[in-house]
Structure 1
Amino acid sequence: MLHDNTNMLAEVGRLETPKLSGKYDTGQLFLHRVFGYRGVVLFPWLARVYDRDIPNKKESSLDESSFNQVGKEVKGCTQTFYQVLIDARDCPYIRAQTESVTFLGNQDSSRSLYAIPGLDYVSHEDVFPYTTTEKVPLQHELFDKFLMYYPDKDPPFGAQETLRAWQKKNHPWLELSDVHKETTENVRVTVIPFYMGCRESQSTTVFWWRYCIRLENLGELTIQLRERHWRIFSLSGTLETVRGRGVVGQEPVLSPHLPAFQYSSHVSLQAPSGHMWGTFRMEREDGYTFDCRIPPFSLESKSEESVPPTSS
């Protein structure tokens, strides 16, 4: 199998047949179906996927009725996702932020924002497994801390105790529980929300979430994201509107050749729960513009029992 990330081809291993059932084990090497990077599976998650494309429903308007969809029942099905490490050599060429896993640490009663580089969440269908004879096939600072080479295993890499301890300690902040999907005019939006923790002061408590968004162009015409329009509802009763150009300082182009873009952002509420929904204004190469729906998703906090213990 050949891999290309700098217009130079390099042999990295031999592709295997993707699994149609079951799950991949810790240490499985893979290529990402959409972004093409090399990665390795750390551990699996079972997530509830709410796909709004599955029910046969009438197109609804994009005004306040979009908020009404928040409470509309959309059946979720359980699917396997994976926490993975990304090969550092591929990070500069991925149309996705590669430091998207963040959480609030709990140390000396002062919580700081931690970012873990080179981590991603990957659905089972996006994994193209491969094997290699290299003992260190991936360049990542955590690879040899988390994984060990076992020549008689399949895959030949297994978890070290440091990986199990890291997973246990940070489980509440790494946990992927809900995934939301919706397609508008051949543009699919996938949202994964994560609870990050809360910050307390004498007068108020602020709850924080991060959310990862992937945009995929499933059509044949090139499109560009021009604007975002968010509605953020807090359990405290407030409804906030946020408008702006692009996302994370970019107006990404989604072409048939490079059809996907992924980014992460953060939101805070002065309440333990809320909802978010909205639209992206897209412009097609023929000049046609349309609003692409962002599926409504819940922001739910977790009990303080889930907070990792303070470091000594």
Structure 2
Amino acid sequence: MEILTRVLPANLFRLTTSRLILTNVAHYTRLAEVGKLETPKTTGKYDTGQLILHKVFGYRGVILFPWLARVYDRDATNKKEYAETANPSETGDTLSNVGKEVKGRTHTFYQVLIDTRDAPYIRAQTEAVTFLGNQESSRSLYAIPGLDYVAHDDIIPYTSLERVPLQHELFDKFLMSQSRQRQVSSTKANPPFIAQETLRAWQKKNHPWLELSDVHRETTEGVRVTVIPFYMGSRESQNSAVYWWRYCIRLENLGAQAVQLRERHWRIFSLSGTLETVRGRGVVGQEPVLARHAPAFQYSSHVSLQAPSGHMWGTFRMEREDGYTFDCRIPPFSLESKPDEGSPMSPTPSA
């Protein structure tokens, strides 16, 4: 196996041969082996209970369950390698709401539980499931912390050597240790943990709020933007319905020079016929720098419409370290509502 010595973006781990080594983040003086790497899957998908390391953000996690998503990749429509590696179960759907038509291809993503020990060191918001309470008397926004949606290609599987392999308040509620011996000689190793009934019930009950359906990607001058929208529910307001969505955005610098996000410019079109323009400094109160040691940043925000559907698109104004500025395109994406199917199983409301 190739020897890997680079420090991952989160500055938490070093990969050496097949070992996963934890680095003391404060002083970089203590090394402790916490796991052994496994061979990433090039075909098929990972199972519930598989321990993983995020290739970009560097955190430890465990897979809860997979999702199939349509990926609208505006960079890949004319690439030969994309056609060769596309999932044969592709849907063939197209997106043509704004600009050129883009064909969606099916790819596997995973709902992942993040180790709370790593959360403070990653450049991503870790509340990946939000929805509105359905009770008429409630206007609560519910958030489930420590969850992420991870693409198959961003996963590095590993086996933990720690007594407590992952720390999260939901870990013991959702997963239990695999009782039978792992089959070392088998070509398909069993994951160390299996789903409990509470995980299956939670997934089934919360399906409309958990479902990952569309992913949108586009790259401008070496900065790739990935957008994943989620429907959150609706609220009655003065005899009319207000529909809410959450959208998760990941920015990744694929180039050599550091770039900083300075401004955002959104255009939001509603099926009711309105077109809103939003401008502002940074995102979520930050102007993140994307550099080699930390090339990615991920955040979430929310939008509401007085119509059951609409579209969003826009640009980020980016500034390179040499002073050059450019507008990085945010790929257009649809906002589609779903029937509210009863009150979900929810944690304590966050607001």
TM-score of the two chains, using structure 1 as the length reference:
0.92
Give the CA deviation at 1:77: 0.6
Say which is worse superposed, 270-279 or 152-161, in terms of deviation. 152-161
Partner of 1:285: 321
Select which of 236, 240, 245 maps to 1:209. 245
Q: Deviations over 1:135-192 (max 9, x none)?
A: 5310000000000011425212000001011111111001000000000000000000
Q: Partner of 1:97: helix, strand, or coil?
A: coil
Conserved 8 A contact 2:128-2:149: no
5+ residue gaps, structure 2, are 1-19, 80-95, 183-189, 347-351
Q: Deviations over 1:78-123 (max 9, x none)?
A: 0000001000000000000112321112235524200111000000
Give the CA deviation at 1:271: 0.2
Aligned AA for 1:271?
A
Structure 2 Cα separation of the partners of residues 94 and 84 of structure 1 = 15
Structure 2 Cα separation of the partners of residues 107 and 136 of structure 1 = 38
Query: Is residue 2:205 matched to residue 1:177?
Result: no
Give the CA deviation at 1:272: 0.2
Q: Partner of 1:224: helix, strand, or coil?
A: strand
5+ residue gaps, structure 1, are 58-67
Give the CA deviation at 1:257: 1.3
Partner of 1:60: none
Partner of 1:73: 101
Partner of 1:16: 38
Structure 1 Cα separation of the partners of residues 335 and 24 of structure 2 = 36
* Mapping for residues 90-101 of structure 1, pairs under 5 Å: 90-101=118-129
Give the alignment's Cα RMSD to 1 decimal.
Answer: 1.9
Aligned pairs, number: 301
Conserved 8 A contact 1:107-1:310: no
Partner of 1:106: 134
Structure 2 Cα separation of the partners of residues 191 and 277 of structure 1 = 10
Percent of aligned pairs with the same amino acid = 81
Aligned AA for 2:23?
D
Query: Is residue 2:53 matched to residue 1:53?
Result: no
Structure 2 Cα separation of the partners of residues 69 and 170 of structure 1 = 29
Q: Partner of 1:100: helix, strand, or coil?
A: strand
Partner of 1:239: 275
Q: Deviations over 1:16-46 (max 9, x none)?
A: 0000010000000010000000000000000
Partner of 2:193: 157
Conserved 8 A contact 2:202-2:345: no
Conserved 8 A contact 1:108-1:310: no
Conserved 8 A contact 2:125-2:300: yes
Query: Is residue 2:35 matched to residue 1:35?
Result: no
Say which is worse superposed, 181-190 or 133-142, in terms of deviation. 133-142
Query: Is residue 2:19 matched to residue 1:4?
Result: no
